[in-house]
Amino acid sequence: MTKPSPVRDTVRPRRWRCVCAYDGGSFSGWQSQTSRSGGARPVIPTVQDALEAGFSAVLGAGTKIHGSGRTDAGVHARGQVFHFDASWRHGPEKLAAAVRTHLPASIQICSIRPAPAGFHARLSAKGKIYTYDVWLGDADPFTRPYAWSVFRPIDVAAMRAAAALLRGRHDFEAFSASRGGEKEDTVRDLRRLDVVRRGRRVRITAEADGFLYKMVRSLVGALVLVGEGRLEPGRVREILLSKRRGPPVHTAPPLGLFLHRVIYR
């Protein structure tokens, strides 16, 4: 009589939700890229590349992650969210601990937990919060990589007045840049745009249902010009209504920008 084959102890794949933080200064952005010549990975890796390599090393197979959105080269994150599907028989804490040993020091796994099958890091998001730090004067070596040093005197009250004119649901085409390809809807609900000074640090916090390419850095660039007295507060409203990006709008450098939180409801 033939013995029955043993039943394999298998674990079905499930969806996992992960929050991570990273120092973007050593990466060419979040999203995995290919070079224009032959499709090889870029010499400078992306955050997604490093995370996928770490998870693949632990899970034993190529693991594809899906982020809540892109961040550009040099932009940091305190609360980037991504999801992936994988089989794992132990708890999420053990998965996080195992993956940490395969990641560079510039990336931190903040949390991993099981997620419903319908959860999608990007499509399920209801909004995002970014912060941008401006430093008045020459920042010290420990602050300089994470803030824009501005050497002109800054009028924070004028910056707040300009920020108030930008809040709300508007077409922000004038404060965005083109990625190339198909044109996207440029209407966004800017729920919050705050300017707070503590000592020599001026922190700008922006919350919206979504952000356009380089939108936060463009808003910061305009607010700093207002603070320096080179742009009247009311002029930002005129630029907004023009729906055209012109010389008064410039993009602040990436080093002061942080993806602070992704909102899910």
**72 in active site:** yes
Phi-psi region of 116 (alpha: psi -120 to 50; beta: other; left: phi over 0): beta
Run of H or E residues at 126? none
Residue appearing with tokens 């959105």: 69
Run of H or E residues at 31? none
Q: Which of 110, 107, 123, 112 is nearest to 51 (CA)?
A: 107
Phi-psi region of 6 (alpha: psi -120 to 50; beta: other; left: phi over 0): beta
Contact 94, 177 (CB under 8 A): no
Tell me the C-alpha distance between 99 and 59, whole Å: 9
CA 74 distance to own-chain centroid: 10
Catalytic residue among 72, 189, 194, 209: 72
Pairing of strands 66-67, 14-22: unpaired
In the DSSP assignment, the letter for residue 28 is S
The four Cα atoms 146, 161, 263, 243 give a dihedral, to 10 degrees, of -100
Contact 49, 43 (CB under 8 A): no
Length of the chain: 265
Active site residues: 72
